[in-house]
Copies of this chain bind each other. A is one copy, B any other.
Amino acid sequence: MRPFADADWPAVWAVVQDVVTAEETFPYDPAMPEGVARAMWVEQPPGLTVVAVMDGQVVGTAKMGANRPGPGSHVSTASFMVAAPARGRGVGTALCRFAVDWARRNGYAGMQFNAVVETNTSAVGLYRREGFEVIGTVPRSFRHPVHGRVGLHVMYLEFDAP
C-alpha cells in the first residue's frame, strides 16, 4: 500500500473505468471522461489517494478525506475499488483498514459511507466486519443492471463513540 503517484494513473484508470462502467457498485457517471475521473479519484491534501500493489501490479485503490466541509469536516469518508482479477483476496479489507487507520491518525471522529449499494454484499459484509453499521437505507435509489432498483446504505463507524 503506497500513496498514488502520477505514473499509477493508467493502472488506476483501468480499475476505475471498469468499476464505473459496470454500474453495479458506484453511483458515478458511467460516461465520466478520463480527466473528470482523475480529478474525482485523485484527492488533494489533506485528502489522500493510495494504491494497493501485489507483484508490482496495481490491484486496488482507495481515496479518503473529509466527508463534508465546514461543520461536518470532522467526519471522514473513503471509497475503494479493487481490480476484477484481484477480488476475493483481501485487497478491499486491506484498503478499508488503511483508510480507517489514516482517518484515526488524522483526528477524524468517524468514517461515513454515503451510498453503499445493498446488493454489493461483499462490500457490505466487509464494512460490517470492520465495525461499520448501517445507519439507514434509501430504498430503490440505485438502478442496478441486473437487480433493478435497489437500496443505498448509509454506513458509519464512529471511532470513539461515547
Interface residues of A (CB under 8 A from B): 20, 23, 26-30, 32, 67-75, 109-110, 112, 114-115, 134-144, 149, 152, 154, 156, 158, 161
**Alpha-carbon distance A134/B135, docked complex (angstroms):** 11
Q: Is the CB–CB distance between B30 and A70 below 8 Å? A: yes
Whether A158 touches B136, Cβ cut-off 8 Å, given contacts A23-B71, A72-B27, is no
Q: Are A72 and B135 in contact (CB under 8 A)?
A: no
Given the contacts A135-B136, A154-B154, A27 and B141 also touching, CB distance less than 8 Å: no
Question: Chain B residues with Cβ under 8 A from A139's Cβ?
Answer: 156, 158, 161
Distance, CA A29 to CA B68, complexed state (A):
9
Complex Cα–Cα for A70 and B142 (A): 9
| Chain B residue contacts of A115, Cβ below 8 A | 68, 72
Q: Report the Cα distance A56→B75, complex, angstroms.
A: 41
Given contacts A136-B135, A136-B136, A137-B135, contact A71 B143 (CB under 8 A): yes
- Given contacts A20-B70, A27-B68, A70-B27, are A138 and B152 in contact (CB under 8 A)? no
A144 and B71 contacting across the interface, CB-CB below 8 Å: yes
B-side contacts of A134, CB under 8 Å: 136
User: Which residues in B have their C-beta under 8 angstroms from that of A75?
Assistant: 138, 141
**Nearest Cβ in chain B — how far from A60, in angstroms?**
21
